[in-house]
Structure 1
């Protein structure tokens, strides 16, 4: 009996070979750069949902891999992104204290 599972999603580069080693047949195609941009943004949401369900290092690593892919496909310098992150943290702080801004009253 033949079983066919449909995924239609962006996967890591070595996934087709891993599927073949499991004696299965992957049907794939190569997305255009513009398609990859949209697919990576969807992948980020998918990985965030997985992290919400299981907040462990492996899931966070998947998010970081997608972020690296986003930086590459959008031609962004990841080192510059990290520098901006560090500057913002220096100027505005991080999220360690868990502060919730409820209201601002203007005078």
Structure 2
């Protein structure tokens, strides 16, 4: 059964405190998780307030479904991050199991 993993690198230029950073990260995680029924987690303990890394995981019986889902999640993450004043500086996804 295929498992897809998506990694999102965020840049939060306006963050002036840990609270600002957490607000953006928490909001993005919640919107993605509820909108797509996927698992989303913060992957790093960032040393700066202006960056964060999120991991997204999904499992399905269909590799084609997961491919489409990861594209949709990546597009939505970009839109949501922009609405929150952040940008996706890098993203990549892969299948963990064939």
TM-score (norm 1): 0.32
Higher normalized contact order (CA 8 Å, seq sep 6+, divided by chain length): 2
TM-score (norm 2): 0.34
Query: Could you say which structure has the larger radius of gyration?
Result: 1
